[in-house]
């Protein structure tokens, strides 16, 4: 069974219950290349206070940990934007 954006979102909400989460399935943008046959492509944007004081790599590790059960089931590529609420507000003051 293919991994869906809904499944990715659900797994992230379980790992980041205090986060704002947006998941986009970008698979259609990669149709035709070899990786498209190996699984889906997703972009995720998370805003969470858990990211405060963490490096970009540490933030990404937390995201990969939350998705660890889905990755072997069909996530080929994952683009991650992980920000604290203050960082998100600095970029978009309407948040």
> Which carries the bigger pLDDT value, residue 3 or residue 53?
53
Helix, strand, or coil (residue 23)? strand
User: What angle do helix axes 5-15 and 56-66 make, rounded to 10 degrees?
Assistant: 110
pLDDT of residue 32: 56
CA 33 centroid distance within chain: 21
User: How many distinct structural domains can be found in the chain?
Assistant: 1
Q: How far apart are CA 30 and CA 10, in angstroms?
A: 23
Indicate whether 39 pLDDT > 70. no
The domain that contains 59 carries what CATH number?
3.30.300.90
pTM for the structure as a whole: 0.85
Angle at 63 between CA 29 and CA 84, to 5 degrees: 100
């Amino acid at each position: 069974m293919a991994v869906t954006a809904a499944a990715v979102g659900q797994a992230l909400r379980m790992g980041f219950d205090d986060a704002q989460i947006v998941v986009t399935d970008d698979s259609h943008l990669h149709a035709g290349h070899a990786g498209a046959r190996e699984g889906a492509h997703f972009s995720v944007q998370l805003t969470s206070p858990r990211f405060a004081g963490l490096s970009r790599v540490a933030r990404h590790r937390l995201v990969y940990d939350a998705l660890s059960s889905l990755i072997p089931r069909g996530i080929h590529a994952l683009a991650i934007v992980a920000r604290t609420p203050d960082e998100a507000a600095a970029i978009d003051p309407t948040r």
